[in-house]
Amino acid sequence: MSESQMSDSKFNRLFLIMIIAMSVLTIILMVLASFASSDVNEELDAQSDLENTQAVAERISPVGEFAATTVASAPTAVIADLTGAEAYAPCAACHASGAAGAPIVGDATTWANRLTKGAETLYSNAINGIGAMPAKGGMNLSDNTVKAAVDYMLENSK
């Protein structure tokens, strides 16, 4: 082997070692980079999730609102008969406090006076409205529910 051949093979070996070393370095850098970016990627994912949710909410909102109003108005139209206590709950807005001059539930004298008209009259006045009181108290209730509420009010005003 000549001098120059020796140095060629030496160079080749060195060159090979350097290529391997650089490949290893590249892999290490790639791994480090992916570690460093994983936090950022998670944040970006979370942010784009949030943006997507908002965008979807915005896009469907007119439909959602429409659905909400349909759902909200549907049950009141077909509202089932309620028990006296349940039925009285919306009436309490006026009849617990005496708002607008409503006879207060629990006031035996007032209700005894009203009852002299007869229960049927009280029912029909509650259903059709009387004075400052709107028909059915302004609620969309069945006649039976209003009657149950009147009974409950009378029962609790003795």
Q: How far is the CB of 124 from ligand HEC (least distance, A)?
A: 8
Stretch that binds ligand HEC, among 4-12, 20-28, 74-82, 116-124 (CB under 6 A): 116-124
Stretch that binds ligand HEC, among 17-25, 53-61, 64-72, 96-104 (CB under 6 A): 96-104
For ligand HEC, the closer CB: 11 or 104:
104
Stretch that binds ligand HEC, among 40-48, 50-58, 76-84, 121-129 (CB under 6 A): 121-129
Q: What mask, x for binding ligand HEC by CB under 6 A, covers residues 45 to 84?
A: ----------------------------------------
Collect contacts of 75-82 with beta carbons under 8 A, ≥24 apart: 76/140, 77/140, 79/140, 79/141, 79/142, 79/145, 80/142, 81/142, 81/144, 81/145, 81/148, 82/141, 82/145, 82/148, 82/149
Q: Give every CB contact of residue 141 below 8 A, 6+ residues apart in sequence.
A: 79, 82, 87, 90, 149
- Site for ligand HEC contains 105 (CB under 6 A): no
For residue 123, what are its two tokens? 């029912």
